[in-house]
């Protein structure tokens, strides 16, 4: 079945460590996105990519980095510069003729100890 | 800029009662509007979308929403709640740059009691 796979589902990290969250899709979608979800704040866009080797900052990109070397993959690195990294991270994708429907992965919950 | 306001962070209904989740939007251009549902510790799933065709939009699981331009609203309704409807619901509007950047509301958690 086609879909989006995020890993790991749960991740713990110590302060000062970088961590990379994986996102893979087999939907043949051109666009991919990373959102951060915090209680009571909805979803906020971190980065998005509309094509391989290109990506744009979203509303809260500081302290995060991404790469898009393959169409299927859009990993997110949470760096030590991110001041409050504990959150639920959601990856999504959409087709070229985007009708607004985003397909989401099941999320990765990051906890900083 | 575009924005969405969801009134009520929590809504409680009894099983079989009407569900009404409110969403008001702000947009300088004709909007495209969406409702997504999220079950605990999962991603979001599209319930329905308005893309300038019929103003009454029917979605999955018996939900529907009506686009009212005069009220800048896109409220989500279901005639009869089921226990399985308990989840968090997000309204979203397309961003200025087109569909790619959806702007989400803060969400409404629907609680359904027996």
Which residues of chain B form beta strands (DSSP E)?
3-7, 10-14, 19-26, 33-38, 44-50, 56-58, 64-68, 73-78, 87-95, 98-104, 108-113
Q: How far apart are CA B111 and CA B13, in angstroms?
A: 6
State the Cα–Cα distance between residues A70 and A85, nearest whole angstrom. 26
Residues contacting A23, CB < 8 A, separation 6+: A4, A5, A6, A32, A34, A73, A74, A75, A76, A91, A105
CB atoms within 10 A of CB B57: 21
pLDDT digits (tens, 9 = 90+) for B9-46: 999 999 999 999 999 999 887 888 999 999 988 899 99
Predicted confidence pLDDT, tens digits, chain A (113 residues): 679 999 999 999 998 899 999 999 999 999 999 999 998 888 999 999 989 999 999 999 999 999 999 999 999 999 988 889 999 999 999 886 656 688 999 999 999 98
Q: Is A109 on the interface with B (CB under 8 A)?
A: yes
Report the C-alpha gap between A8 and A18 in whole angstroms: 14
Residues B103 and B90 sit within 8 Å (Cβ to Cβ): no
Chain A partners within 8 Å of B23 (Cβ):
none
pLDDT, mean over chain B: 91
- Residue A101 is predicted with a pLDDT of 80
Q: Which two tokens stand for residue B90?
A: 């997000």
Task: List, in sequence order, every residue forming a beta bridge with A19; answer none if it has no partner.
Answer: A78
Q: Is A101 on the interface with B (CB under 8 A)?
A: yes
A22 alpha-carbon distance from chain centroid: 8
A105 part of contact set with chain B, CB < 8 Å? yes
Min distance B76 CA to chain A CA atoms (Å):
17
Cα A8 to Cα A11, A19, A88: the distances in Å are 6, 11, 12
Facing A99 at nearest CB: one of B42, B99, B106: B99
Nearest CA to A77 among A41, A23, A4, A38? A23
Give tens-digit pLDDT for B32-82. 899 999 998 889 999 999 987 789 999 999 999 999 999 999 999 999 999
CB contact under 8 A, A90 and B98: no
Extended beta strands in A14-79, E state: 19-25, 31-38, 42-51, 54-57, 64-66, 76-78
Cα torsion through B68, B69, B75, B77, rounded to 10: 20
Residue of chain A whose alpha carbon sits nearest to that of B8: A40
Chain A: closest CA distance from residue B70 (Å): 23
């Amino acid at each position: 079945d086609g879909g989006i796979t995020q890993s790991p589902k749960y991740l713990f990290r110590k302060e000062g460590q970088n961590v990379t969250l994986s996102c893979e899709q087999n939907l043949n979608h051109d666009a991919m996105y990373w959102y951060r979800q915090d209680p009571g704040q909805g979803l906020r866009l971190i980065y998005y990519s509309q094509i391989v080797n290109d990506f744009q900052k979203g509303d809260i990109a500081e302290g995060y980095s991404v790469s898009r070397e393959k169409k299927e993959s859009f990993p997110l690195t949470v760096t030590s510069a991110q001041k409050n990294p504990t959150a639920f991270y959601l990856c999504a994708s959409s087709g070229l003729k985007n009708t607004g429907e985003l397909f989401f992965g099941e999320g990765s919950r990051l906890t900083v100890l | 800029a575009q924005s969405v306001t969801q009134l009520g962070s929590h809504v409680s209904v009894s099983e079989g009662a009407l569900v009404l989740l409110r969403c008001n939007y702000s947009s300088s251009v004709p909007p495209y509007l969406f409702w997504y549902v999220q079950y605990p510790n999962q991603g979001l799933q599209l319930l329905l979308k308005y893309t300038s065709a019929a103003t009454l939009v029917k979605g999955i699981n018996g939900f529907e929403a009506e686009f009212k331009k005069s009220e800048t609203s896109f409220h989500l309704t279901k005639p009869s709640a089921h226990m399985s409807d308990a989840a968090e619901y997000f309204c979203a509007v397309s961003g200025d740059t087109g569909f790619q950047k959806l702007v989400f509301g803060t969400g409404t958690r629907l609680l359904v009691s027996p």
